[in-house]
Structure 1
Amino acid sequence: MDLRVAALTDAAALARLGADAFVAKFGHLYTPDNLANFLADAHSEAKVAKEIADPAMRVMVAERDGRLLGYCKLVMICGWPEHARAATVIELKQLYTAPEATGQGIGAALMDRAMEEAAAFGAGEIQLSVYSENPGAQKFYARYGFAKVADIHFMVGEQRDEEFLFAKLL
């Protein structure tokens, strides 16, 4: 498996992978309209291309034999400054793997790379949001030293999801 920074030529494949991963894990929770509106906004090719080009973001991909298996995004700006405990806080977003590739160590490899990127950036803390009813993801992040610091929410269309803000001091 190869890990690398995403290129603009990856935007379409990353948009598809993000939508597929989200639907596979969470699609059943939403009405068709809320899901469609969310996917059109959050996982559009144009939005992903804009994120790849944004100097305040790092989009990292995992691939094997030219096929994208997963990705994660680091936002080099604090997403929840009211909960920041360090001077330089970044956000980890969308640590996703292809639905058929879950359990192959891709998430761990991406997390390791994200931690390296955060350290190289000089971050003192990493924040991330995790769905309150996703204990598997919560356990995964806890293995890396993340812990809940606040209750937050996440909107999918017009539906409000209760989430936990997890963070780790570096």
Structure 2
Amino acid sequence: MRIRRATVDDAPLLSRLAARTFTDTFGHLYPAGDLQAFLADSYAVERQRTILAHPDYAVWLLELGGEAIGHAAAGPCGLPHADVQPGDGELKRLYVLAAHQNGGHGGRLFAEAIDWLEREGPRTLWIGVWSQNLGAQRFYARHGFVHVGDYEFPVGRVRDHEFILRREAAD
């Protein structure tokens, strides 16, 4: 098992992995056409390449036996909350394939992303999480994140009720 920082050359792999993990986790919530349009846009290879090339963003791949089984992404906070300040960071994605969950792998990816977000010192961190994803909410609460707002996350015609979580910068 290893975690490594993804490079621009990983864009096709990240595109496939992100679409697969999103579909495995949430695909049952959406009409097929809405899901496919969302995946084609949000996880397009070119979009992943742009993210991977941007100095303010980072993505990590969790690999087991040479196969990518999870990923995490972090960068500047883009959540729709009035208290977001320049310099705040956001854990944007954290996914592990279902067959590899509950083995501590998500926690390792989470730690890697948080360490990177706080590489220049403590700062306020944010996470958006589906309101019905109780396991993720418990996980983030254990790491000091609290529910501070709500927003809608569109996947085609469906609008998911999302929670905005925040952890204040440690003193």
1:30 Cα offset (Å)? 0.5
Alignment of 1:15 with 2:15, yes or no, is yes
Which residue does 2:60 correspond to in 1?
60
- Structure 2 unaligned runs (5+)? none
1:123, distance to aligned residue in structure 2 (A): 4.9
**Counterparts of 1:23 and 1:88 in 2: how far apart (Å)?**
31
Gaps of 5+ in 1: none
**Partner SS, residue 155 of structure 1:** strand
Is the contact made by 1:145 and 1:168 (CA closer than 8 Å) also made in structure 2?
yes
Structure 1 position 158 matched with structure 2 position 157: yes
Output the amino acid matched with 2:138.
K
1:11-44 per-residue CA deviation (whole Å, 9 max, x = no partner) reads 1121111111111111111011110110001112
Question: Is 122-131 or 158-167 further displaced after alignment?
Answer: 122-131
For residues 105-160 of structure 1, the C-alpha deviation after alignment (integer angstroms, 9 at most, x for no partner) is 11100111111111114451111100011111111111111110101111111211
Partner of 2:167: 168
User: Aligned AA for 2:99?
Assistant: E
CA distance in 1, matches of 2:54, 2:18: 18
| Superposition RMSD in Å | 1.6
**Equivalent position of 1:51 in the other structure:** 51
| Equivalent-residue separation in structure 1 for 2:35 and 2:86 (angstroms) | 36
State the partner residue of 1:102: 101
Letter in 1 for 2:53: A
When residues 53 and 87 of structure 1 are mapped into structure 2, their CA distance, relative to the original with a 3 A threshold, is closer
* SS of the residue 2:144 aligns to: coil
Q: How many residues align?
A: 169
Determine whether 1:27 maps to 2:27.
Answer: yes
- The ranges of structure 1 where at least 4 consecutive aligned residues each deviate by more than 3 angstroms after the TM superposition are 77-81
Change (3 A) 1:66 1:138: same
